[in-house]
Amino acid sequence: MQNSESATVAVVLPGTGSDAHFADRAFRAPLAALGVRIVAIEPDPRRVVDGYLDAMNSAADTYGRIIVGGVSIGAAVALQWAAANPDRTASVLAALPAWIGSADDAPAAASAKFTAGQLRSEGLEAVIAAMLASSPAWLGAELERSWRSQWPDLPAALDEAASYHSLGESELRAVGVPVGIASAVDDPVHPAAVAQSWAAALPRGAVATTTLDMIGRDPAVLGATCIKALAAIESDTTASA
């Protein structure tokens, strides 16, 4: 991975309502193959974003230059931290970005807001039952585990995610570190167009694609797809040198 040779640790952040278990499975094997150890952060549902930022600061204080990454809002917060800490960031692994700037029109934010409301009005068990009935089996199992672990603070975590303002296009254009982006072409909650927009705005960004079915069979596809995108950046840089 470009500019990542000196980084031996990667900090990875879960998506909205998800947990460290899934983030670990998404990134551990692909990074281990490159000799990089990962630290998957368990979200604090009472302060998701600040908790993530604190974790990256702590890791950089301990290990020096690090790789940062995540899924969905985890990817957005990782990129936010990288933009503010370019000298401490080797590269960014951004899986399934959900929006640019304001979340007002983002499907992922609308879903989080709706789920938070349902949890408050219907309760955890009823919402989990409905989710399991309407989700692929792999996703249902992942969310049931993480939702139970974050209850009763889960609605607050979902509301926080839905109101998160990610980097806008002008801010993305100022990010100098390489950013490998994984997009699932059939994911309506994390539109492929958002991933393409991130890559178009970032000076050193690239997208590689996968599918939800492939992620369901093996979450490590997400990390591998991010790394594939980073390799494309390195290849383009080498070719133009």
What does each of the 241 residues of the chain score in pLDDT, given as a tens digit?
444 446 899 999 999 999 999 999 999 999 999 999 999 999 999 999 999 999 999 999 999 999 999 999 999 999 999 999 999 999 999 999 999 999 999 999 999 999 999 999 999 999 999 999 999 999 999 999 999 999 999 999 999 999 999 999 999 999 999 999 999 999 999 999 999 999 999 999 999 999 999 999 999 999 999 999 999 998 765 555 4
Per the listing, tokens 């990782």 go with 78
* Calpha distance 117→26 (Å, rounded): 29
* Calpha distance 27→21 (Å, rounded): 10
Q: CB of 102 within 8 A of CB of 110?
A: no
Q: Which amino acid, residue 227?
A: I
Angstrom CA distances, 132 to 115, 116, 135, 153, 155, stand at: 13, 16, 5, 20, 18
For 176, the token pair is 């100098």
Q: CB of 33 within 8 A of CB of 226?
A: no
Per the listing, tokens 């000076």 go with 203
Whether residue 45 is preceded by a cis peptide bond, meaning omega within 30 degrees of 0, is no
Which of helix, strand or coil describes residue 6?
Answer: coil
Q: CB of 26 within 8 A of CB of 96?
A: no
Q: CB of 78 within 8 A of CB of 88?
A: no
Cα 60-157-225 angle, rounded to 5 deg? 55
